[in-house]
Amino acid sequence: DGGITQSPKYLFRKEGQNVTLSCEQNLNHDAMYWYRQDPGQGLRLIYYSQIVNDFQKGDIAEGYSVSREKKESFPLTVTSAQKNPTAFYLCAISTGGYGYTFGSGTRLTVV
């Protein structure tokens, strides 16, 4: 997926459990984003980060947390406070005037 790797591909979460989704990029881009995709809905922005050690909330940040300790890495934690976490999660980097490059996604399911 063009230098952006998400893992795992599938993830199962039990009630009350925190889980962390990984996003790594080797394209040396500053801006990274996390989106959530639900059936029949557009992608919704969870968090984004423009530079290391800085990140901003998107439209649906409640129940999620992120960190940006390294330029290459932008992990997303789905906390137990997120009551409806089952969704397809997508990480992306911005390539200036050439759109976003997305990872292959992580499908999270609550069991």
Site residues for other proteins per CB under 8 A: 1, 6, 31, 35, 40-45, 48, 50, 56, 90, 92, 94-95, 97-105, 107
User: Would you give the distance in Å from CA 2 to the centre of its chain?
Assistant: 16
- Judged on CB neighbours under 10 Å (0-12, 13-18, 19+), 103 is buried
Minimum gap (Å) between residue 94 Cβ and other proteins: 5
Residue whose C-alpha is closest to residue 91's, from 30, 12, 25? 25
Minimum gap (Å) between residue 99 Cβ and other proteins: 3
Residue whose C-alpha is closest to residue 88's, from 28, 40, 18, 51? 40
Minimum gap (Å) between residue 67 Cβ and other proteins: 18
Nearer to other proteins, 41 or 53 (CB): 41
Nearer to other proteins, 16 or 39 (CB): 39
